[in-house]
Structure formats: C-alpha cells, structure tokens
Amino acid sequence: MESIDSSQSTQQVIDTDEQPTPLDGGDVTAITPVDVSNTTDKGKKSGFRQMLPKIVIGVILGAGAIASGIYHYRWTQYSKYHLTTDVAYTSADSYPVTSRVAGIVTQVTVKDNEAVNPGTVLIKLDPREIQASVTQAKAALDVAKQQAEVARENINNVPPTIISEPLSPIPGNQPRLVLPKLPQSVSKQIEVNRQQYKAALATVTQRQVELKQAELQLSYANINAIAPGQISNVNIRVGQQVQPGQTLLEIVQPNPWIVANFPENQLERIQPGQKAEIKIAAFPSRKFVGKVESVSPSPVNSVAVPSPNSTNPVNNYTNNFNQSNNNIRRIPVKVVFEPDSIKDFESRIAPGMSAE
C-alpha cells in the first residue's frame, strides 16, 4: 500500500503546476510540498525486509557447506591414520552347565544374571536313588572282603605231610632225614586255594571301585559352578526330570572382548598390540580402551560385505549383509579391553552387544 500512496501524491503535484493561479479572483490557494524522500525510504525498508529471510537462509547454507567441507577434510585426514568399523560386537567365554546323572530337580538355587563363584551350588537333584546305589555298593564290598578272608584261611588249613625215610648208615656219618615232601594232590589243592584267594582280592578291589563310583555319582546330585561368572539362560524348573548331558543353564565369565570385522583390504594396517578405542551401543557416553590381540586367519562365515560405494543395508547385530555384485570379505579381529578401562563394567557387558 505504501507504493500506491506515493504515486497519487506525485500526480497531485504535477496537476497543480499546470493550473494557472487565479490572482485576480481574490482567492489564493496554498500549495503544500510533499516529502517524496520519506516514502522512498519506506519502500527501501520494505524491500530489505522481504530479502532478509533469503539472506539468512543463504548464510546458513553457506556455513553448512563450509562446515561439511571441513568435516569431510578432517575425516579424510583421520581415516588415513585410523581404521574404523561399526560391524562389531561383544563376546565372552561361556560354558554350559550340564547334569552328569539322571534325576529329578528338587531345588534351583540361582536366577538369571546372578553372579556366582566356583563351588556355588546351582541345582540340586533328588539323591535317594543314587544313595541306594551307594548302600548296595557298600554291602557288596563287605561280602567280597568276607570271601577273601575265607579264601586266605583255606590256604593255611591244608595239612602238610612230612615223609621221613632213613638212609643206610655210612661209616663215620649220622643217619639223615629226607626233607618234607607233599603229596601231588595236596600241592595242587594249595595252588587252587591260592588262586581263589587272589580272585577274592581282585573282587574286593572291584567292589571298592564300584563304591567310589557310586559315591561320585551321589556327589553329582549337587550341580556346582566350576568357574566365576554370571548366570544366563536358566531353562530348568523344580520337579523336572533331567538326563546326563542335558544343558540346564549357562555361565558367562567376566572377560568380554570385541570381535571387529574389518574389510580385508584394511588388514595390512592392522597389527597385534595396536591401541583401539571402543564404543558400545549400550553405553553411548562411555569410551573404552583396548588393543588388538589377534587377527583371524579366515573370513567371517557366509558373510558378504558390500563395498564402500554400496547402498545395501548392514545388520550390526547379526553381521549379515545383503548380496552385492561387488563384495568385499571381512576378517574378524579380536580386540581385548584394558583392565582399567573396563573396571566395574565386566558383568554389564553381555555377549552380542553392538559395538564400533
């Protein structure tokens, strides 16, 4: 509207100049000058206000382009001396806890995520059947000992026959006796008795072994932890029948490490002992420090890794990649944590966490 008002005022000035002044009529018309510069300044201000958003947007875009260029340059320089990968995950030693004997579960003393030490009782089985086997083995051992004692006495109960035959006297010599001589049947019987005694002793030894085996089976009724760690995957309940070799739960040991899958064309720059910075998705505000321990001699099984120019998505947890026409194999690199870096996090870092 300001531009329209300015044109009307100008037209009035022109019309006034063209009309003659009626000096002889007695009436005098006063002409008031119009300030054209004021309206011009308002028009300039209005145009500046309209251009201001465009100027601001241009400045922002320019600053963003400059920042992007700086970031790209710095990242390029950083990547020359540092290797990175987001195809990594945590791992740790774990072992399954299995039952060595058959039985019915009477007690489960631990829960998931509970910390345990070596010797901690995890699961108890009903010991009555195994205890009966121990009692039976003890009775068998007692019988074997009694039989061995009887066999030993039979050896001593064979009466020896002493035969004395006088010899013809020799001048100047005293008569001499023939040494005791056992009949052949008696000698054979003694040998038989001795063999029976040896067999009885062997039976005693066998019964002792059976008793120890039964007592060992009885000790297996209490399933204990053999290493420190954290309980995981408890899949057993009270009253459940278990069989030898059945996995009841797992124990994850507090020694996590990182498995980082690097493209094979970067392995030339990776050496054991190199320092590494580690980020775990579960702890985004925490930076861990580690070092390269070893490089796997073989690539990841059944994993096709897209080339850097590929747009195929990556699943960090499973480390699986969609098929690409230009695949680069990845090699697992084991990175261990520095002890001070992982302090108080040993039991919190679970196997399978995403890392980079």
CATH number at residue 264: 2.40.30.170
Are residues 67 and 88 located together in one domain of the fold?
A: no
Gap between the Cα atoms of 133 and 140, Å rounded: 11
Q: Domain for residue 55, yes or no?
A: yes
Residues in the chain: 356
- Please tell me which residue, 303 or 192, carries the higher pLDDT value: 192
Q: Domain for residue 244, yes or no?
A: no
Positive or negative torsion for Cα 168, 169, 173, 174: positive
User: Over 90: is that where the pLDDT of 123 sits?
Assistant: yes
Span of 63-67, 174-178, 214-218 with lowest mean pLDDT:
174-178
Gap between the Cα atoms of 317 and 281, Å rounded: 11
Are residues 214 and 137 located together in one domain of the fold?
A: yes
Are residues 259 and 351 located together in one domain of the fold?
A: yes
User: Over 70: is that where the pLDDT of 26 sits?
Assistant: no
Q: Domain for residue 240, yes or no?
A: no
Are residues 256 and 198 located together in one domain of the fold?
A: no
- Please tell me which residue, 47 or 88, carries the higher pLDDT value: 88
Are residues 39 and 7 located together in one domain of the fold?
A: yes
Cβ atoms of 77 and 203 closer than 8 Å: no
Over its C-alpha atoms, the chain yields an Rg (Å, rounded) of 51
- Give, rounded to a whole angstrom, the gap between the first and last alpha carbons of the chain: 62
Q: Domain for residue 202, yes or no?
A: yes
- Mean per-residue pLDDT for 121-138? 94
User: Over 50: is that where the pLDDT of 241 sits?
Assistant: yes
Are residues 50 and 87 located together in one domain of the fold?
A: no
Gap between the Cα atoms of 143 and 138, Å rounded: 9
Q: Domain for residue 99, yes or no?
A: no
pLDDT band of 205, cuts 50, 70, 90? very high
User: Over 70: is that where the pLDDT of 121 sits?
Assistant: yes
Q: Domain for residue 147, yes or no?
A: yes
Are residues 54 and 135 located together in one domain of the fold?
A: no
Question: What pLDDT is recorded for position 71?
Answer: 65
Number of domains composing the chain: 3
Are residues 349 and 256 located together in one domain of the fold?
A: yes
Q: Domain for residue 245, yes or no?
A: no
User: Over 60: is that where the pLDDT of 293 sits?
Assistant: yes
Domain limits for position 52 = 2-71
Question: What pLDDT is recorded for position 324?
Answer: 40
Cβ atoms of 282 and 322 closer than 8 Å: no
- Mean pLDDT value across the chain: 75
Cβ atoms of 87 and 259 closer than 8 Å: no
Question: What pLDDT is recorded for position 66?
Answer: 80
The crossing angle, in degrees rounded to 10, of helices 36-81 and 2-18 is: 150
Are residues 289 and 345 located together in one domain of the fold?
A: yes
Q: Domain for residue 120, yes or no?
A: no
Are residues 193 and 256 located together in one domain of the fold?
A: no
Span of 81-90, 155-164, 332-341 with lowest mean pLDDT:
155-164
Question: What pLDDT is recorded for position 117?
Answer: 93
Concatenating the DSSP letter of every residue in 125-158 gives E--HHHHHHHHHHHHHHHHHHHHHHHHHHHHHTS
Are residues 329 and 276 located together in one domain of the fold?
A: yes
Gap between the Cα atoms of 250 and 330, Å rounded: 30
Are residues 280 and 192 located together in one domain of the fold?
A: no
User: Over 70: is that where the pLDDT of 349 sits?
Assistant: yes
